[in-house]
Amino acid sequence: MIRTEKLTKKFGNDRGIFGLDLEVPKGCIYGFVGHNGAGKTTAIKILCGLLKPESGRAFIGDVEVIPRNFTKIKRSIGYMPDITGVYDQMSVWEFLDFYGAAFKIPPKQRKERIEQILFLTHAENMIDYQVASLSRGMRQKVGLAKTLIHDPDVLILDEPAGGLDPNARIEMRKTIAGLRELGKTILLSSHILPELASICDRVGIVNKGHLLAQGTVKEISEKLQENLTILITVDSEIEKALAIVSALDTVQDAVIADKNHISLSYTGGRETAGVLLEKLMSAGVKVRWFAENEADLENVFINITSGNGRKAE
């Protein structure tokens, strides 16, 4: 639904984006991850038709993002910047009605649409509030509602949870997940990596304008060939179990994590990890639980942007 081919926009020698190849499937929440200045906002502005690339191409669906297609592109995209511009003197209703009129939605349909999007964003109680009186979290809800006013197929959200308290972030996360269920394709830029990991189907990691990897967190982790973190729970004989696994050359940092739990780093690869279980069972240790700890987006991000990431290309 979103695709770029060798997309390039330079601001000097080391700023901008360089040969960016994004692939965002339809109906997917795609987490766009990178440090400040990594090039995320540059890519987003090009996709929205707000910035012209030096070379490369970008597509929304099968429509290329070029000047003659801007009207069509902007009707199919809902863009929410990190700071939503508002008109303080308006009520929430007036604010959304103004944007509905800008998209030439007839008055009767605007009324129905405003009620729908306020319900979707859990902001229906704010319909008569003055925009100037809204908290940061409330403004983000209204900003998302404004982004949805013309019912776009693609949502591009730049730091939608930035500056929100934990409860507001949880609510925003649920709202975004709900929009996916409605068939929206969502490109989501954020620095709050645990938030991304919990709702994103795929992620793209960009550093200094270069896309280092994209896919699921597990796929990227496998490409990096990181050591596996394996968790083992036994009924008893925890010390015996620890001695057995620690004796293997492929096991590092084996520790007793809790009364009956062992955490270890395994370097032998997923296809041979079962040897640990075999060793324990053949020694008579009763194993209650044996599983790989899921890859953590923060660790993958740190690993790939610290210099190890070129392996994932």
In a domain, 304, yes or no: no
Q: Do 38 and 130 share a structural domain?
A: yes
Q: 199 is in which domain, residue-wise?
A: 2-221
Q: Do 212 and 181 share a structural domain?
A: yes
Which pLDDT belongs to residue 311?
Answer: 40
Which of 172, 194, 221 is the endpoint of a domain? 221
Q: Do 190 and 112 share a structural domain?
A: yes
In a domain, 248, yes or no: yes
Angstrom distance (rounded) from CA 204 to CA 7: 15
Residue pair 306/212 in contact by the 8 Å Cβ criterion: no
Q: Do 48 and 191 share a structural domain?
A: yes
Q: Do 37 and 157 share a structural domain?
A: yes
Q: Domain with 255 in it: what CATH number?
A: 3.30.70.100
Which pLDDT belongs to residue 96?
Answer: 96
Q: What is the pTM assigned to this prediction?
A: 0.76
pLDDT in tens, the chain (313 residues): 999 999 999 998 778 999 999 999 999 999 998 888 889 999 999 999 999 999 999 999 999 999 999 999 999 999 998 877 778 889 999 999 999 999 999 999 999 999 999 999 999 999 999 998 998 888 889 999 999 999 999 999 998 887 778 888 888 889 999 999 999 999 999 776 777 778 899 999 898 899 988 988 777 766 665 677 889 999 988 999 999 999 999 898 889 887 889 988 888 877 788 899 999 999 999 999 998 876 667 767 776 776 544 444 4
Q: Do 76 and 151 share a structural domain?
A: yes
Ramachandran bin of 178, using left for φ above 0, alpha for ψ from -120 to 50, beta for the remaining angles = alpha
Angstrom distance (rounded) from CA 154 to CA 161: 18
Question: In sequence order, what DSSP letters do the residues of 270-310 get, joined into one string?
Answer: GGGTHHHHHHHHHTT--EEEEEEPPPPHHHHHHHIIIIIGG
